[in-house]
Amino acid sequence: MKNPILYIILIGCLIASPVVMHGQVLAKASVSRDQILIGEPITLTFEVRIPMGQAVTWFNLDSIPRFEFIEKGKVDTSDNIDGKQYHQELTITSFDSGTVVIPPLVLKVAGQAYVTDSIPIEVSYAKLDISKDYRDIKEIEEVPKPAWMAWIPWIIGVVTLVAAGIIVYLLRKPKKPAPVPQPVQPKLGPYEEALQALEELRKLGLQNGDVKTYYSRLNDILRVFMFRKLKVATLEKTNAELTMQLRSVPMDKESFNQLVQALQVVDFVKFAKYQPAESDTEKNFAVIQSAIKTLNNIS
């Protein structure tokens, strides 16, 4: 060897270092201080470097014997030409006096374990300064009450009187008489309802010569009656479809033909703007009224 002293120094540095290296993997644990007082926090730092693309299982940091976790920082990562680097800082403390050791912690890279060095920490009590005067325990001193506390009995009394007054008022307040139930009006049957609607339409007559509204109402009265009485879905059918359904009803031929003609006039008025004579309107009213009576008797 040309320079044996240089090799000796290099080997000594490697032995003294707390770094555990296997190939390109580096796992190092260090602390900010190795001497603390009981309960005093210190920072435990992990520095890890692994080759790119390798799977890593981080240190098990659920607990460290004889140490308490104060704060766990997140794991920071960065990439460079040396590989992927990890950095994490934890704030810990201990409440056991004496030499407390952070044990070796295991990191796994691609299934292979790498262990950090153990780190001894000296934990001690604060030193007692006997040069200072002894401080005896003081007697309990009474603190004078604030001035506003003298008003508390008066405030309680006023609140009690107001609450009592409200209760008395509510108890003596005259109660409203219960509403008298209104007798339920019996619902009209299909036939009675149709006759009542026809009578109302007769009284109204043609309002301002509005023939279309009059005939539409006359048509609806027949449809609603057939829907309620015969259980026929008439409200969404045309008068032509309604006529087909009436063929199955046992009406005499003359009454059936008159009703069919009346329904045709209704369609002419609603869709062709037909203006029937007043006598025709009265006749069609009578035909539908008679048809309702006939259908009520034969159903």
Per residue in 107-117, pLDDT tens?
A: 999 889 999 99
pLDDT at residue 136 greater than cutoff 70: no
Q: How far apart are CA 79 and CA 57, in angstroms?
A: 18
Query: pLDDT digits over 4-26, tens only?
Result: 665 555 555 444 444 444 458 88
pLDDT at 135: 63
Average pLDDT, the chain: 82
Residue 97 CA to residue 35 CA, distance in Å, equals 11
Those residues with Cβ within 8 angstroms of residue 274's Cβ, 6 or more apart along the chain or in another chain = 265, 268
Mean pLDDT of all residues in 157-182: 81
Q: What mean pLDDT is predicted for residues 164-187?
A: 74
- 19-124: what fold? Jelly Rolls (2.60.120)
Q: Kindly report, residue by residue over 199-217, the tens digit of the pLDDT.
A: 888 888 777 778 888 888 8
pLDDT at 53 over 70: yes
Give start-end residues of each CATH 2.60.120.570 domain in the chain: 19-124
| pTM value surpassing 0.75 | no
Owner of token pair 């032509």:
240
Runs of H (alpha helix) within 1-151: 4-16
